[in-house]
Chains A and B, each alone.
Chain A
């Protein structure tokens, strides 16, 4: 089935099987920042934005997304870089496998919540698992990022 996606503002037409998930479609299209961590929609690693909202790309059938706007981390490069600066200062990045999905979710949170508290940040990001950092440094970095007006 032919599906027309809008990925990071660019129209992309692709022939997909009806049972294919967005994660696989995006990787076929070489958006390799979108990655798989599990098979049960429970780790957050594959998160992309669909019409601006964080969404598990491993669980969305591509055929349902005709004409929808998909954003991968490449589409928010400046914000990702800014967040990375704060992660760097706090030593909050380790293996980095989940960092693009983290950047997308934090970016969406910034748009959705005004001045979130630490508890709100945790609640918003709880679906993004991390086995490396112990989370605390991430939270400090995210708080700094949210305050960063540059």
Chain B
């Protein structure tokens, strides 16, 4: 990788300005994926002295600094328990421990990687992002926007509530990227269903969620209807990891299995 300048700015304001001076200036997170995607960089902006890697837990929220390595998140005792541990589970399935010691939550979120397992889990618990310029933003909104976001992510906040969850990744081998991933939660009696790597980026199945959240009674028939609904409302596609048709089948099967598990776990 060719890097012309490596800069440690004095403030986030300075970093922000630097980032906007040149499209080929980049903030570095863990740097793992950057190496695989960028051949040459003008200015590499280092923020490790400005943005930490702490995880702070209050009664209502877990606040995670953007530079927190995935591995720290994965093994954090509160996160391991929260919503049946789906955030930890989603991280466990990303490459090996050594990569997770380097890759950061900030890099994962900002990268908006369509294959990301963690994004699916985070979306299912609806986390809030805190940016330097734009301030607070829901992850769902961030992922939906197609604009090139060149803001600096400072931290991520995960709400602490009572709830259950399910995460599943389908892949050829453990180290491979997902053919499909999905996360389902039931928090405050509300279901959220998220499907990612379709191969498009993780999205909520809003109509399906509506259907189940308004149902009077949840039985096998409804679960199947909800699963069908997910497949209808979300777009699926083909790549060398799996065909559109196969992804749709997987989505149907695992939404049903996931819902069943979440419901039975809650009761």
Contact = CB atoms under 8 A, between A and B. Distances in A.
B240 to A, nearest CB: 16
A2 interface: no
Given A18-B5, A59-B35, A44 B48 contact: no
Contacts of B175: 42, 126-127, 129
Interface residues of B, number: 28
A37 to B, nearest CB: 12
Given A55-B102, A59-B102, A126-B174, A21 B97 contact: no
B95 A41 contact: yes
A62 B2 CA distance: 13
B243 to A, nearest CB: 24
Interface string B165-177: 0000000001100
Interface in A88-119: 105, 108-109
Nearest to A124: B97
Given A55-B101, A56-B99, A18 B36 contact: no
Contacts of A109: 97
Given A18-B4, A54-B101, A63-B6, A127 B32 contact: no
Nearest to A101: B98
Contacts, number: 81
B46 A125 contact: no
Interface of B: 1-6, 28, 30-32, 35-36, 40-41, 44, 46, 48, 71, 92, 95-99, 101-102, 174-175
Given A18-B3, A18-B6, A47-B98, 8 more contacts: A19-B2, A21-B35, A54-B97, A58-B35, A64-B28, A126-B96, A126-B97, A127-B175
21 contacts: A18-B6, A19-B1, A19-B3, A41-B35, A41-B99, A42-B95, A54-B101, A55-B98, A56-B99, A59-B99, A60-B31, A60-B102, A61-B1, A61-B28, A61-B31, A61-B44, A63-B3, A105-B98, A126-B97, A126-B174, A127-B175
